[in-house]
Chains A and B, each alone.
Chain A
Amino acid sequence: MTTPVLDRRPTPTSSATAPRRSLKDRGTRLLAALFLAPTLVGVLVFTVVPIVGSVVLSFFHWDVIGTPRFAGTDNYTQVFTDDTVLVSFTNTLIFMVFAVALQLLLALALALTLTNRMPSWLRSTFRSAFFFPLILSAASISVVMKYLFNQDFGVVNWLLGHVGIAPVPWLTSEHSAMAAVILVYVWQQFGFSFLLFVGGLNTIPKEIHEASSLDGASGLRKHLSITLPLLSPTLLVASVVGIINALQVFEQPYVLTDGGPGDATRTVVMVIYQSAFEQLRFGEASAIGVLLFVLIMAVTALQFRLSRRFVHYQ
């Protein structure tokens, strides 16, 4: 375990080099410790300890000012009987399913379409365009979208009016509010999955495509039976990252709808934010946070389990 990987040269035979080598081992370990210290200490202090802290805090009542009172499982029973919290979990899951599905399908379709022959300036223009929203702030782009989706003077309804669709109450009716939040989220995020797919497609040897074209496989069929299985490792990464991010959605509903109308677009992270920093119920907020973390871990673990059946490594 402790042999330096750099030491794969022929074993020295003279005894004079033996002590130098063990010194080198120690040197390597010391260097490793020094190099790892900032990251490991940081991870310990700012992630591991806070998670443990969150779990502990979730068994207490605490409003920051007073002393914490032990609460047993009160916070959890409270959470499981609170309609707003339960609705926020349902909303977040619905959001995740539609947002991730839409994001992956759109990104995959675009990445596959770009593999066709076209001038390279055109390809790079498209690539830059799809990728552009990623550099913007989710909060400010949501501010912009709030105007675009305005029922009376928003550009979205104005455009829809041209194809004969009556004004949609995007942000003020339950179902369309969720749809608007999903659309705004996907609009900004699909570029990320798109770039992952472009990278994945680049690793598929061209010969495979050419060989299958000679065999007469065409278009969709070729993609379904050849490209997708080869792309499956990237699909796994894209869906894992996509789901982890979607379960933490906050800025879009916070700015667009503030969780409304009613609780229609209230997400888990919004509820954590509100119960901790608006109502000062830190114990309850921690309990919800712990549940969200467990949900994320469970979904990720499930994906990796399922992936054994679908993912093919070259």
Chain B
Amino acid sequence: MNRMKYVLASWTRVAGLTAVALLTLGPVIWTVSTSFRAPAESFDLPPRIIPGHATTEAYHQVFAQIDVWLLALNSTLVTALIAVGQMITAGLAGYAFARLEFRFKKPLFGLVLATMMVPVQVTIVPVFLLLKPMGLTDTLLGLIIPAWPTAFGTFLMRQYFLGMPKDLGEAALIDGAGPWRIFRSVYAPLATPGLAIIGVLAFNYHWNEFFRPLILETSTQNFTLPLGLVSLQGNLGTGSISVVLAGVVLSMIPAMAVFVIGQRPLREGITSAGVNR
């Protein structure tokens, strides 16, 4: 009797979790399948998982209407350079906060953490004004450089270095290694997985970033993918949602690749952030 109750309970649980998972993935599945419908019949109900007559017409339309390659190139450049920059700044600062002793360490770390509370929308106008005399508005660099310092990344890397055994550095010190050598040959090589977390998080955030590009980039040649996609929305007027959805699917491909390759670091980055150490 008890066993039956147990089995029943676990089936109910799995059913409930499956329902939520379907609701979560449903819109994504719909997006992919509808993007392969002919633009003219893309609004037809019922929605189908496998379209009646699959066609890539919508994808041809996307390539005809917006410069997908240029948008993708811009997005890739911006995202990659931000990710690399953040790995460097966060790796170095995280190490200093975790393993080096210096004056004002606590207040400086507090200052960096406090910037996490500042909404990007509050600083965007002054940042815009700061970039303007430098000629960096409406350039990709103007999007990249301000994103290099990362409070969250510094916080994560500090946690990461704190988690490494202290004895390693002490042993190297006794062997006569200076602070730079200890960093370079003892701790830095161990930091790769932590840096991967920063890289994947940065990619995920900045690949999808919308607000800063919307404000900083005014000419189409500097648009990133999310900006370019919004301009596809004009197709709604003609009822061709499949064109818009094809654009969305195209922009999802790199994100999905990162999801498959980088799911673990991404997940670990988020799970570890909520745990006190």
A residues neighboring B (CB under 8 Å) = 1-9, 24, 27-29, 31-36, 38-43, 45-51, 53-54, 57, 106, 110, 113-114, 116-118, 122, 125-141, 143-145, 147-148, 153, 155, 158, 187, 191-192, 195-200, 202-203, 233-234, 237-238, 244, 247-248, 250-251, 255, 269, 272-273, 276-277, 282, 285-286, 289-290, 292-293, 296-297, 300, 313
Contacts and interface: CB of A to CB of B under 8 A. Distances in A.
B90 A51 contact: no
A251 B211 contact: yes
B117 A31 contact: no
Interface residues of B, number: 98
Contacts of A7: 173
B265 interface: no
A4 B93 contact: no
B46 A145 contact: no
Say whether chain A's binding surface is mostly helix, strand, loop, or mixed: helix
Nearest to A192: B270
A211 B88 CA distance: 46
A127 B93 CA distance: 32
B191 interface: no
B182 A43 contact: no
Contact of B210 (A28, A118, A138, A144): A138
A8 B170 contact: yes
A118 B14 contact: yes
B146 A46 contact: yes
A192 B142 CA distance: 29
B148 interface: yes
Contacts of B169: 6
Interface of B: 10, 13-14, 16-17, 20-21, 23-25, 27-28, 30-31, 43, 45-47, 88-90, 92-93, 95-97, 99-103, 108, 111-112, 115-127, 129-130, 146, 148-151, 154, 169-170, 173-174, 178-180, 182-183, 204, 207-211, 214-215, 225-226, 229-230, 233, 241, 244-245, 247-248, 251-252, 255-256, 258-259, 263, 266-267, 270-276
User: Ordered nearest first, which 5 A-B pairs have the shortest CB separation?
Assistant: A42-B149, A199-B271, A137-B208, A53-B126, A196-B274
A296 B117 contact: yes
Say whether chain B's binding surface is mostly helix, strand, loop, or mixed: helix
B121 A195 contact: no
Contacts of A57: 125-126
Nearest to B120: A248
A44 to B, nearest CB: 9
A252 B158 CA distance: 33
A293 to B, nearest CB: 5
Given A136-B252, A290-B122, 12 more contacts: A2-B101, A32-B96, A33-B102, A116-B10, A132-B28, A135-B204, A140-B208, A147-B241, A199-B270, A248-B121, A269-B119, A269-B211
A267 to B, nearest CB: 10
A139 B229 contact: yes
B119 A5 contact: no
A198 B180 CA distance: 37
B193 to A, nearest CB: 16
A27 B176 CA distance: 13
Contacts of A47: 115, 118, 123, 149
Contacts of B103: 1-2, 29
B118 A51 contact: yes
A78 to B, nearest CB: 16
A140 B248 contact: yes
B13 A113 contact: yes
Given A54-B126, A143-B248, A147-B241, A155 B211 contact: no
A293 B204 CA distance: 25
A38 B248 contact: no
